[in-house]
Amino acid sequence: MKLFVYHTPELTPNLEVPDCAIAVDVLRATSTIATVLAAGGEAVQVFSDLEKLIQVSEQWHPEKRLRAGERGGGKVPGFELGNSPLDCTSELVDGRRLFISTTNGTRTLQRIQDAKAVLAAALINRASVVRYLVDKQPETVWIVGSGWEGTYSLEDTVCAGAIAYSVCKEMNIPVEKIAGNDEVVGAIALYSYWEDNLLGLLHHASHGQRLLRLNCVEDLKYCSQTDVLDVLPIQHEPGVLKKYV
């Protein structure tokens, strides 16, 4: 198994398709996706285009759907939800499909949707992602950060490092044997430095600061936790993620 870390979807190779691709958007799309499925959501369907989301979701009974829209960190007017995982309670999402479009994370999932296996990872479900990788051992694995509008983000890179670090530890393999690019080594180094203060890192991150200005401090606290959800979102058809069983 070779791991590759890409800081944004734009940096992934154009003409290659990995055995497994993992989308990471700690703040907050993949954290929200994992939370919805852990709370009993039927599925999460992702869109980069808001009009397409509305068109497709209209085909579902209103009691069986939820619409989540986020742009610039704020909720899109007319949608039931923004992009806060804390709003995704079991009472609200159980048995319903979440139709979601966000600034960064949904774009990443669409970029990697042709991979043989597509997963959604955040710090909160890191252990489930690692367990899948150790069990299946796909030959090539892309861990793709969502970044912020095409630029590097600390929070996605530290999550990529957390995953790679745990894979090395679980498989008892030195990083140089599993790293497909230098970004893997850098991501592990970032995680190793901040492992005991991930919330502090999120406060330093530019998007973390953006969310703090929007009074989303509880979101940062929630998203900085590791291994608190035993759930693995996996793509069942392009753009549709369900709980892996």
Looking up residue 71, the CATH number of its domain turns out to be 3.90.1560.10
Give bridge partners of residue 148 from the DSSP assignment.
Answer: 151
Which contiguous run of DSSP H or E holds residue 36?
Answer: helix 29-38
Instruction: Quote the domain boundaries for residue 117.
Output: 2-232
Return the pLDDT at 122. Answer: 98
User: For residue 239, is it within any domain?
Assistant: no
DSSP string, 80-133: SB-S-GGG--HHHHTT-EEEEE-SSHHHHHHHTTTSSEEEEE-GGGHHHHHHHH
Q: For the chain, how many structural domains are there in total?
A: 1
> Is it the case that residue 191 has pLDDT exceeding 90?
yes
User: For residue 245, is it within any domain?
Assistant: no
User: For residue 237, is it within any domain?
Assistant: no
User: For residue 106, is it within any domain?
Assistant: yes
> Is it the case that residue 138 has pLDDT exceeding 90?
yes
User: For residue 242, is it within any domain?
Assistant: no
Check if the beta carbon of residue 166 is closer than 8 Å to that of residue 30. no
Residue range 172-181: average pLDDT?
97
User: For residue 219, is it within any domain?
Assistant: yes
User: For residue 73, is it within any domain?
Assistant: yes
User: For residue 240, is it within any domain?
Assistant: no
Is pTM beyond 0.85? Reply is yes
CA 36 to the chain's CA centroid = 12
Q: Tell me: the pLDDT tens digits for 2-58?
A: 999 999 999 999 989 999 999 999 999 999 999 999 999 999 999 989 999 999 999
Q: Tell me: the pLDDT tens digits for 62-112?
A: 999 999 999 988 899 999 999 999 999 999 999 999 999 988 888 899 999
Angle, in degrees to the nearest 10, between helices 154-171 and 182-194:
100
Instruction: Give the span between the Cα atoms of 147 and 169, in whole angstroms.
Output: 26
